[in-house]
Amino acid sequence: MSWLVGLLRRSWQSVPHTVLTPAAWLVVGLVAELNVSRFVPTARPVDALGIALIVLGPLLLVVRRAHPPAVLVACTAVLLVYLALGYPFGPVVVPSLVALAEAIVHGHRRVAYATTVVAVLAGLAIQIGVRGGLAGIEGRLGWLAWLAAYVAGCELWRARTERRAQARAAREETARRQAGEERLRIARELHDVLGHHVSLINVQAGVALYLLDDDPEQARRALATIKDASRDLLREMRSTLGVLRGVDDEPPRAPTAGLGMLDRLVADNEAAGLAVSTAVDADVRALPPSVDLAAYRIVQEALTNVRKHAGAARALVKVTEVGGALRVVVDDDGAGPSARAGEGGAGLVGMHERATALGGTLSHGRAPGGGFRVEAVLPLTGPRPAPVGPPGEEEAG
């Protein structure tokens, strides 16, 4: 029996409401109007013309959602003609009420109110001139009160529909904005990860090719660096693409990128020929994860740019905690800002976006002693976890 109920429910849901509602009122209207003459013997019997008018109203409702104002005017005209010909009053009024609600809900309020006023005045004129004068006018006044309540209900439904539409639009806009922010975040991650590791692999591959015959041991070390860099690249790419696919539900087993991995980053750059010194005056283990990741990526991208554009031999990374903010400075002894004029700005833009996303700032330009400086100030907002174990213990695991 349950399968029959399910079948009937699915069949009911598959029928378009634009057709179902008119069909229902067509049946109700025909049955009611053909029997109402028994209770109103003075009315004109429902003949072929009356049946045609009863059928025409529900048929017009089929296109009510495509043309609400036109359907309302047409249904009202059919109703007035029906009443003017002296047929008995009954459910024939329902198609006009349905069309009125459709027009109000879809925002065609002027047409709806104007048509309603004209219909009321015309109905009163028909009652006085055709349907027995002032006899029964009290009942018509009751209809007017009911009609006013009906219009108020339609207005409430319209307001509710508009609020739901606005809420749905706001949710969709929020979803689009969040999706855009997530795409931007992933793009930054890919740019920084690829920029650092691929440039490192490129440098070491050149070293290996150059020294393959003259210094096989140095070439072997370069190839080992390439292997480590490619392994790290694959790990970080797998993590980023897992987020992009939405399948990275398990907690990461590899250490999350952060300033705790600064020594490894320094070693990678020194293997590529850039001497890097560090001065860290902050408890990097207690940083909020978002600040820790942003600071690491800024340092990573800044050092990558030093290798690619500055022609520098040395770089200095300073990390300090001052006034509730983390200050990250990367200086180099290269040619200065003019050497980076053709860089294209993608790396600097990404660093700036990382800083501003946390409410911080990023500046760049000539360093005090020459060369180039990148400076980021990142507010230390949010909960800060208590440090656990000695420095480097998490990474050792």
Q: What is the pLDDT of residue 30?
A: 60
* Helix axes of 216-245 and 137-211: crossing angle, nearest 10 degrees: 170
Closest Cα to residue 142, out of 86, 89, 100? Answer: 89
pLDDT tops 70 at residue 134:
no
CA–CA separation, 91 vs 29, rounded Å? 5
Q: What is the pLDDT of residue 308?
A: 78
CA–CA separation, 298 vs 188, rounded Å? 11
Q: What is the pLDDT of residue 13?
A: 43
pLDDT tens across 19-67, in order? 555 666 566 656 666 565 555 555 677 788 888 888 888 888 888 888 8
pLDDT tops 50 at residue 330:
yes
Rg, C-alpha atoms of the chain: 39
Over range 247-270, report the average pLDDT.
Answer: 71
Query: Which phi and psi angles does 328 have, rounded to 5°?
Result: -120, 125
pLDDT tops 50 at residue 390:
no
58 CB burial (10 A radius; 0-12, 13-18, 19+)? buried
Architecture of domain 260-383: 2-Layer Sandwich (3.30)
Closest Cα to residue 51, out of 68, 67, 29, 70? Answer: 29
CA–CA separation, 2 vs 248, rounded Å? 40
Over range 361-376, report the average pLDDT.
Answer: 87
Over range 294-321, report the average pLDDT.
Answer: 85
Q: What is the mean pLDDT of the chain?
A: 76
CA–CA separation, 140 vs 70, rounded Å? 26
Q: What is the pLDDT of residue 115?
A: 92
Task: Break the chain into its structural domains and give their ranges.
Answer: 11-135, 260-383
How far CA 184 is from CA of 132, 190, 194, 364, 375, in Å, comes to 75, 10, 15, 22, 22
CA–CA separation, 103 vs 68, rounded Å? 5
Q: What is the band of 388 on the pLDDT scale with cuts at 50, 70, 90?
A: very low
Query: Which phi and psi angles does 276 have, rounded to 5°?
Result: -125, 130
Q: What is the band of 131 on the pLDDT scale with cuts at 50, 70, 90?
A: low
Closest Cα to residue 298, out of 352, 351, 342? Answer: 351
Q: What is the pLDDT of residue 377?
A: 93
More confident position, 272 or 150: 150
Q: Which range is least confidently modeled, 37-41, 63-67, 267-271, 352-356?
A: 37-41
Over range 182-205, report the average pLDDT.
Answer: 72
